[in-house]
Amino acid sequence: MRTIHKTKSTDQVKYKRFTRKKFCRFCADKVPFLDYKDTKMLKSYLTERGKLLPSRMTGTCAKHQRDLTEAIKRARNIALLSFMEK
Ligand SMILES: [Zn+2]
């Protein structure tokens, strides 16, 4: 059996390269529902090209990630968001 030494400090530094603290913002804010009209909020979950960011990057929980996808699709349909940005 090999013993793996956990080098916590170095791991954490590696993690911090791109992400801020990961947590589900919607759970933290205790939002009752996701507002698809809030484009500012939705846009923070999209890449600059208009693609949806994966939950592993944003830290959004599965439930809210689903809601978010739904909200973004809705927003796109009524032209609040674009499908693709140049
Ligand atoms: Zn959540």
Cα–ligand 1 centroid distance for 19 (angstroms): 17
Cα–ligand 1 centroid distance for 52 (angstroms): 16
Q: Is it the case that residue 12 has pLDDT exceeding 70?
A: no
Beta bridge partners of 52: 46
Q: 3-state secondary structure string, 32-65? A: CCCCCCCHHHHHCCECCCCCECCHHHHCCCHHHH
Domains of the chain and CATH, by start: 21-77 (4.10.640.10)
Q: Is it the case that residue 13 has pLDDT exceeding 80?
A: no
* Confidence band, pLDDT 50/70/90 cuts, at residue 43: very high
The predicted structure's pLDDT at residue 20: 59
Cα–ligand 1 centroid distance for 38 (angstroms): 17
Identity at 5, one-letter amino acid code: H
Terminal Cα distance for the chain, rounded: 53
The predicted structure's pLDDT at residue 62: 95
Using one digit for the tens of pLDDT, what is the confidence trace for 47-76?
A: 989 899 999 999 999 999 999 999 999 999
